[in-house]
Structure 1
Amino acid sequence: MSNPFEEADGIYRVLRNHEEQYSLWPGTLDVPPGWDVALKAANRQRCLEFIEEHWTDMRPVSLREAMTSPSTVRHAESGSS
């Protein structure tokens, strides 16, 4: 039995979760809860290109927001821990 996540000539989708993280997902499998389709059925290479183009910051969105919140910035500028 082959692994549906590693079929070179398979059809895939690109999924994205609420943290703006992406996943290459086999087109034959149901979309898991908490994920939305960012790119519909395409070949593996196209999906990987899409992920590389759109997922430019690997940090979860909650971390990015926390790092730019006024309290975080003020804390970092004061040099205190």
Structure 2
Amino acid sequence: MTNPFEDPDGRYLALINAEGQYSLWPAFVAVPDGWGVAHPEDSRDACLAHIDRHWTDMRPRSLAEAMEEHAPESR
């Protein structure tokens, strides 16, 4: 059996968590607690493309917000 995360012919979901982090997820596996569906069941390539388009900042949301809160003001 191949790795279900690497099956080019498999069906996948793009998931997102509260920190704005994404995950490619096999459609036949239940969505884990703390994650929601950001892109419905689709091909692996389509889900990866969705993740590439939307996950532009790899920092967890809480870290990005804390960094912005403590950033010096632009003058």
Report the TM-score when normalising by structure 1. 0.85
- 2:51 counterpart residue number: 51
Aligned residue number for residue 22 of structure 2: 22
Instruction: Tell me the residue number matched to 2:66.
Output: 66
* Structure 2 residue 10 is matched with structure 1 residue 10: yes
Shift in Å, 1:3: 1.4
The separation in 2 between residues aligned to 1:25 and 1:14, in whole angstroms, is 6
Q: Name the structure with the higher helix share.
A: 1
State the identity as a percent: 54
How many residue pairs align between the two structures?
72
Alpha-carbon distance in structure 2 between the residues aligned to 1:28 and 1:2: 14
Which entry has the higher C-alpha Rg, 1 or 2? 1
Q: Which has the higher contact order (CA 8 A, sep 6+)?
A: 2
CA RMSD of aligned residues (A): 0.9
TM-score for the superposition, normalised by structure 2: 0.91
Distance 1:73 1:24 in 2: 32
Distance in 2 of aligned mates of 1:37 and 1:21: 12
Name structure 1 gaps, 5 residues minimum: 75-81
